[in-house]
Homo-oligomer: A and B are copies of this chain.
Amino acid sequence: MESALTLLEYALVGLTAQEPLSGYDLKKIFETTEMRQFSSSPGSIYPALRRLEKRAFLTSSEEATGDRTRRLYRPTEAGKEALRAWLLAPVTLEELHDDGRTPILRFAFLGSIGAGRKPTRAFLESYREALGRYLEDLRELAEQLGEHPDARPRLAILHGIEQVKGQRRWIDLAEEELGLAQTSMMKEGSE
């Protein structure tokens, strides 16, 4: 252990794990896809890549694609291991408190470590469980705010409750699409 990468760093390892990428590629991904949450400024990406290489989570090699030379990054074994540990960790209430968007980011990356049905299902289960506890907290808070003269703070909590409900619906949807029906009793052999 003693890893603890930043979210940006995990994203860099996760993306390069799927295929070797240059800093410029990553920049492009951050500005065109839903990874907008990460800054696409070179001032964040390039230093992070250097950092990860120095810490031996990534390796790079100068390569000539067509005519230009680009420095392509890919994860080392240690990098893959750190990524795996991050992706396979169960979703906790604390994670939801810190930043509700990291669970789904982790989910999206599960393919980059070739995770099969079992870890995917385990991930969704822990997500569901954490959401359940989160929902309890929110309902309690909403009740406490019931006396508040201004309705808006309580409505803000109701917003959170609606979000949690949406996330739960999505888990059902995802399990269905992935053929992970929770009622099934069949043993699984994949992964």
A: residues with CB less than 8 A from B are 33-34, 36-37, 97-101, 104-105, 107-108, 110-111, 120, 138, 141, 150-153, 155-160, 162-163, 165-167, 169-170, 173-174, 177-178
Contact = CB atoms under 8 A, between A and B. Distances in A.
A35 to B, nearest CB: 10
A128 to B, nearest CB: 13
A169 to B, nearest CB: 6
Contacts of A174: 155, 158-159
Given A37-B98, A100-B101, A162-B169, 6 more contacts: A36-B98, A37-B99, A104-B159, A107-B155, A151-B178, A163-B167
Contacts of A107: 152, 155-156, 159
A166 B155 contact: no
B37 A152 contact: no
Q: Which of A98, A105, A156 has the most CB of B within 10 A?
A: A156
Nearest to A39: B98
Contact of A104 (B33, B120, B156, B169): B156
Closest 8 CB pairs of A and B: A166-B166, A111-B150, A108-B156, A162-B166, A162-B170, A36-B97, A159-B170, A104-B159
Contact of A151 (B97, B156, B177): B177
Contacts of A158: 170, 173-174
Contacts of A97: 36-37
A159 B155 contact: no
Contacts of A37: 97-99
A137 to B, nearest CB: 8
A178 B178 CA distance: 41
11 contacts: A34-B138, A107-B155, A108-B153, A111-B152, A120-B152, A155-B170, A155-B173, A155-B174, A155-B177, A162-B166, A162-B169
